Structure formats: C-alpha cells, structure tokens
Amino acid sequence: MADASHSTSHPRASSAPADDEIDLGRLFGLLLDHKWWIIGITAVFAVAGVAYALLATPVYRADALVQVEKKAGMSNPLEDVKSILGEEPSADTEVGILRSRMVLGRAVDQQQLTLQVTPKRLPVVGDFLVRHGMERPGFAEASVWAGEAINVAKFQVSPMFIDEPFELTVLSENRYRLSLEDRELGEGKASTDESFLDGSVQLRVAELQAGEGATFTLQKSSRLAVINDLRSRFGVSQQGKDSGLLDLSLSDTDPQRAARVLDAISEVYLTQNVQRQAAEAEKSLEFLENQTPQVREQLRQAEDQLNSYRTERDSVDLSMETESLLERIVDLEKQLNELSFTEAEISRRFTTSHPTYQALLEKKQQLQNERDQLEERVDSLPETQQQVLRMSRDVKVNQEVYVQLLNKMQEMKIARASTVGNVRILDEAAVQPAPVEPKKPLIVVLATLLGGMLAVGLVLVRGLLRRGVESPEQIEDAGIPVYATVPLSDEQGKLIKRVKHRNDKSGQDISSGILAERAPADTAIEAIRGLRTSLHFAMLEAGNNLLAITGPSPGIGKSFVSINLAAVCAQAGQRVLVVDADMRKGHVHHAFGGRSEGGLSELLSGKAALADVTRSGSIEGLDYISRGSAPPNPSELLMQERFSQFLADIREQYDLVVIDTPPILAVTDAAVIGKQCGTTLMVTRFQMNPVKELEIAKRRLETTGVPVKGAILNAMERKAATSYGYGYYNYAYK
C-alpha cells in the first residue's frame, strides 16, 4: 500500500537513534501527526469543564464582623489586678470558642439543622433548570421544580432511624405519603401532627406548596455529624494583630440559610460571652455574701467586749498618743483585709508560685511586720490603755471591714445587673451576590489544560510503545539492505475491501484490483519499478529466477508487493507468474478477480495439472496461480517432491516467478519455499514491525539456510515524526 505524494527517497547520512534513546524530534513529530486527536480530546475536556461549571450547584458565602473588646463595660470590683496579670483572652482563645461544639451546637439546635429536606429533581440538569426558574412542565412526575417547597415544622425519629432517608410524596394540596426504602409507612395531612412506625416517627408538615407527585427526602442526621459539617464550612480569621476584630464566614448552597446560620452563631457567641462575664460577677458576689455574716458577728462581739470593759473600769479614755496608735493599727488592718479579698480572688486562678501572687504575699508580709512593730509599742502602754486600745481596734477594724463588704456587695450587684460582655456584633451576616464556587473560568481553564496534557501524554506513550520501523536506516542497521521504499498509496486504499470468513474473527483486508494496472503513474508503482531495476541486477547472481517474498507478520502488504512487482515486470515485456503459496489465508486471486479453488493446493495434492491451475491475468505476459482450497497440511504439501518439480517446470516457462509466501514468524512455509528460491526478499510495514522482529525473522530464515537478499519498506508515510526524527524525505516527480 502506498502514498500518492512520494516516489524517491534520500536517507540522511546519520543513523537513527538507538532504541533506548529519546528522540525529541520524533516526539515533536508525533505531536504534529496527531494534532487533530490532541485538539479533539482537549476540546472534549473543555466542553466538559464548561458543562460542569454551568451545571454545578453554586456555593455562596455569608460574612459577619465581631469585635472582642479588652474590657467589659462594667469591671468587676475584685479584678483590679487583671491588667497586671495579662489575663485578657487572646484572639486564638476567642476563635476556639467560636468553633467549639458549645457555640456551633446551640446554633444547630436553634436553626434545626439536623433536619434535612432535599427535593428530588431531574438528574444532572435538575438543579440548573430550577435555578433558572423552570416551572413544572406537563411531563414531570416525581421531580421538584421552581416555586415548589414544603415546610416541615417537626420531624422526630427514634435513634434507630437517625440518618435514614424517608421519602415524602405530595398526593394533593394538603395530603402526602411517607415511605422508607420503598416501603409505604402511611399518609398524612398538612398542619397536623402525624405518627408513623408505632410512634418512632413524629412528623408535622406545616405547608405543602408542591405539585402532585413531587418527592422530597427527609433525613434526621446526628447532631455531632451536623456540627462537624458546619465547622468544615465555617471560618474565623482575625483582622490584623491584636485588633480584636474577627471575620466570620460560612459557605452554603442556600444563601438565605447561610445568613441565618451565621447570625445564629454570632448571637450564641455574644450570649455565652455575657453569661460568662455575669458568672464571674456571680461568683464574686457569692464570696462576699458568705463573708458578711461572719464579719457582722465579729463586729458585734468586739463592741460587746469594749462596752463591758468600759463598764467594769468606769469608762476609760485613751490618750492622744494612744488614739494615734489606734488609728495607725486600724489603717494597717484595713489594708490587710483588702489584700485578703484580692488574694481570695486570684487564688482561684493562680498558684502561690505565680509572680503576682508572690508580690501580693510580700506586700501582705510587709504590712504584717509593720503591724507587729505597733503591737510592741502597745505592749509598753499601761495595762488599762492596752486593753482599751486592743478592743477599740477590733471594733473599728470590724466596722471598716463590714462597711467595705457592704459597699463591694452593692457594687457587685450593679455589675451583675449591668453585664454586657466584651463582644460586639459590628456587621450582621450578609451574603455576597456572586457565588464563591464553582470558579467557572478556573474550572474551564483547568479542564482544558488537563485534556491537553492527557492527549499529549497518550500520543507520546502510544508513540513510544509502538516503535515500528520508520526509516530505511533502521533496517540497514539490522544488517538487511533496503531494496525499495514503497510509499502509502491513496489509490490502493480505494481497492481495499474487508473480507470476513466464517472462522475469522477480525477479517482481513484484500485488494480487489492491481494498482499497476489501475494507476500506473502512482508513486507506489514508481517505487516498485525502482525495485524491479534493483532486482534485475541482484538476481543475476541468483541460482534461478524464483523470487520468494515473505515478511515477519500478516497484514504488511506482501501480496500487494508481489502482485504489483509482477505486473510492472510484465508491463516491461517479461513473462511473469505469481504464485500464491499461502494456502491458509492467501488472497492473490481477489486482485485478479478469480476464485481460490483450483490452485496450488490441488496441484500439490495431485488433483489438478499445472496447465489447469495456471490462469492468465488482464495484463499481457502476467499469469497467476491461486492458493487453492485450504488443505489441512500446507507445510507437508510444500515439502513433497511434487512441489520441487512444480518449481522446476515453471521456472523454465517464465522469465520471473514471484512466490507470495506466508509470514515467517507465523508458520515455517516461507523457509521451506525460500530454500528452493534463488532470491528471498522480506517486506516490512512502516511503523508496524519493530526492528527486533525483523532480526528474529531474518535469523529464523538463515537458520534454515535461506539468506535474506534484502528488505522492502512498505506503506511509507510522510509524517512529522519521521521527518523530524530521521530526516527521511520523498519527492514526486512529474
């Protein structure tokens, strides 16, 4: 077979690259040869990307802004040391609280997110049609269309039915049917509490705004699974370092639901923050209320003791010096008492080894040391003055403590009542108008790139795996001279017909005519004329005029070369005979318009004479012998004396005998025939037979004593892979 644009060849001086080397020129040529495949596959992927971008359900994002202040509106009276301790909650802490199950779980409960109502729509395009407002057409049955929805007020199931999909089918304006796994559970009425499965399912549908046959899936998911899903779609980030501004975002396919849920999360976060601040004030107030009765009782006892002592001593007055000493002692006791309140507050947060706790203890010890020094001065006073001073001190200290407790209790009650937390919602949830997913341009670009890379990869891998012969140099490197390079012919392609026999699964291509007769000016025939010239000189040294044409495998064009070589030789004035020695699948008779019966197999089996099987072709001087009926033992027939006698007879009657043999790697017939022929040529097909295959075929023939005179490269094509890879060119000359 051949190509109509080539007639002669000029091999490049340099040899082809080795099998284990990568020829970049050849790879580039492969891409050029398969450019339409690459463009086609890339276009398919691009169209698929466009279709996905249009049909994919868009995802919208709602965002909100929250401020976390460093101090609440009303400070706790017992928290004066917090600024020193650096105890303000960090942004990471607030982010963790926002993403906690406590906050998200309350939002899930408020919005009833564990209940999922999913409308059943047309596959693939259903959501796309609904998004574009497509209302229910006449052919619709179970699908849900634009403007159709249901409002489920209550849907409670027992734990065994968690995550089970129930199907609700609308029957009429106010009636529906509930099913589970194609099992009908019963019918219900809108705006009515219904019970199914012996009370395991409680359902109340508030509204039914859908056409008859519309089907919805109701599913009660586990609370933890819904929280985890919500957390995966919920994002929190801080605006700048230490700004106290938190950006909240939530992605959802339903923009209204995204805004509602994000608002719910913000409100829950605000509420828990206020509750947390109020809880701290409540704890402080509880501590103060527990201390008040004890201090009041201590004050009463101190006053009673002082009054009793004065009565016994007939009212003892203190000197000026003692009064001054008393005031100093009372002041120290007051400071120590305040430190005791502060210590009680921070002891709930820190251990005694904390630096601030240590500083407080040091100050407390200093005041105690000063008080002890004053106590020593008191000991130097007269006994009566000492007693009165100590009792007066106890009364005044307890009075100060009691008043201080009452004041702080009042302050704590005010702080508790006016707690506002340190969180503000600056921006409520708002949904951006454009969806954040899918990113349509990006998807189309990525799909196109993926298609292009996949197409290029397939072409390159296929080209690297199929390393058939692509240039005469490769054949010559294997030690076989190349006698001709026959281009692929478009005209020969028109003569090809596919024939499928009863026991042949794939069928075979046969030629229904002779190209040398149909298109004598075809470039393939010109190449075969060049082969005729080369053979004329080569066969001068041969022992006879018998030419065997074989090849490594079937379907490489042996019969095409044999028939057309015989035809051009006959056109040159020689008497030529073509023998179809492939008694299994030979099809030379098709090219001459004859039948296979009455051919070589009948001659070798003694059923017919030479004159009976020899047929004339349409070209003067050209005869042929068909393969005959398929015998059970072709190889044995060829090894008989009758075949040798047949060859001796015909070589006397003809100037050239061309014998078309079976492929040598399939059967041994070619070796048997070639043993008696003066010249043997091997046909190989462009990009079909690897060099290794040629070497094995040559070695098999030479092992049986059949030297291979040369090779014919058939069906050569002008391809970029060979032009760039090996620099092989063909030219037409008219």
Higher local confidence (pLDDT), 325 or 538:
538
Between strands 615-616 and 482-487, the pairing is unpaired
pLDDT for the residue numbered 464: 75
- Lowest-confidence region among 285-294, 371-380, 564-573: 371-380
pLDDT for the residue numbered 614: 95
Task: Give the integer Cα–Cα distance in Å for 183 and 105.
Answer: 33
Residues 6+ apart with CB under 8 A from 257: 111
What are the tokens at 218?
A: 């109701």
* 348-397 pLDDT per residue, tens: 677 778 888 888 888 888 887 777 777 766 665 666 666 666 677 677 77
Residues 6+ apart with CB under 8 A from 131: 58
Are 593 and 510 in contact, with CB atoms under 8 Å apart?
A: no
Higher local confidence (pLDDT), 385 or 81:
385
Number of other CB atoms surrounding residue 609 within 10 Å: 10
- Lowest-confidence region among 398-407, 471-480, 532-541: 398-407
pLDDT for the residue numbered 390: 66
Domains of the chain as residue ranges with CATH: 22-56+438-465 (no CATH), 60-271 (no CATH), 291-424 (no CATH), 472-731 (3.40.50.300)
Highest mean pLDDT among 74-78, 330-334, 534-538: 534-538
- Lowest-confidence region among 5-14, 296-305, 683-692: 5-14
pLDDT for the residue numbered 504: 58
Which amino acid is it at 27? L
* 137-194 pLDDT per residue, tens: 877 777 888 888 999 999 999 999 999 999 999 998 889 999 998 899 999 999 999 9
* 623-646 pLDDT per residue, tens: 999 999 988 889 999 999 999 999
**Statement: residue 34 has pLDDT above 90:** no
Burial 541-560 (b: 16+ CB within 10 A, else e): eeeebbbbbbbbbeebbbbb
What are the tokens at 411?
A: 């302050």
pLDDT for the residue numbered 632: 87
As a whole-number percent, the residues of the chain with pLDDT over 90 amount to 47
pLDDT for the residue numbered 124: 84
Q: How confident is the model at residue 72 (pLDDT cuts 50, 70, 90)?
A: very low
Q: How confident is the model at residue 12 (pLDDT cuts 50, 70, 90)?
A: very low
Residue range 517-525: mean pLDDT, rounded? 92
Residues 6+ apart with CB under 8 A from 165: 180, 217, 218, 219
pLDDT for the residue numbered 384: 63
pLDDT for the residue numbered 318: 59
- Lowest-confidence region among 144-158, 287-301, 444-458, 644-658: 287-301
Closest CA to 310 of 229, 368, 395, 193: 395
Residue range 73-99: mean pLDDT, rounded? 60
> What number of residues does the chain have?
734
**Statement: residue 201 has pLDDT above 80:** yes
Task: Give the integer Cα–Cα distance in Å for 411 and 405.
Answer: 10
Q: What are phi and psi of 329, to 5 degrees?
A: -65, -45
- Lowest-confidence region among 19-33, 585-599, 641-655: 19-33
pLDDT for the residue numbered 501: 58
Task: Give the integer Cα–Cα distance in Å for 523 and 529.
Answer: 10
Relative orientation angle of helices 24-33 and 35-55, to the nearest 10 degrees: 60
Which amino acid is it at 85? L
* 207-262 pLDDT per residue, tens: 998 888 899 999 999 999 999 999 999 999 988 777 889 999 999 999 999 999 99
Question: 618-622: long-range contacts at Cβ-Cβ below 8 A with a sequence spacing of 24 or more?
Answer: 618/514, 618/517, 618/592, 618/593, 619/514, 619/516, 619/517, 619/567, 619/570, 619/571, 620/570, 621/570, 621/571, 621/573, 621/574, 621/575, 621/576, 622/566, 622/567, 622/570, 622/576, 622/578
pLDDT for the residue numbered 552: 94
Q: How confident is the model at residue 268 (pLDDT cuts 50, 70, 90)?
A: very high
**Statement: residue 584 has pLDDT above 80:** yes
Alpha helix (H) residue ranges in 56-201:
82-85, 91-98, 101-111, 126-131
**Statement: residue 727 has pLDDT above 50:** no
Ordered DSSP codes for 638-656: HTSHHHHHHHHHHHHH-SE
Which amino acid is it at 670? A
What are the tokens at 668?
A: 């041994």
Task: Give the integer Cα–Cα distance in Å for 662 and 638.
Answer: 12
pLDDT for the residue numbered 732: 43
Q: Which helix (H) or strand (E) holds 449?
A: helix 440-465
Q: How confident is the model at residue 312 (pLDDT cuts 50, 70, 90)?
A: low
Compute the mean pLDDT over every residue in the chain, rounded to the nearest whole number.
83
Ordered DSSP codes for 217-231: EEEE--HHHHHHHHH
What are the tokens at 288?
A: 């103060």
Are 395 and 302 in contact, with CB atoms under 8 Å apart?
A: yes
Are 38 and 452 in contact, with CB atoms under 8 Å apart?
A: yes
Ordered DSSP codes for 684-714: EETTTSBHHHHHHHHHHHHHTT----EEEEE
Peptide bond into 433 cis (omega under 30): no
Relative orientation angle of helices 35-55 and 440-465, to the nearest 10 degrees: 150
Are 378 and 390 in contact, with CB atoms under 8 Å apart?
A: yes
Q: How confident is the model at residue 73 (pLDDT cuts 50, 70, 90)?
A: very low
Task: Give the integer Cα–Cα distance in Å for 227 and 210.
Answer: 30
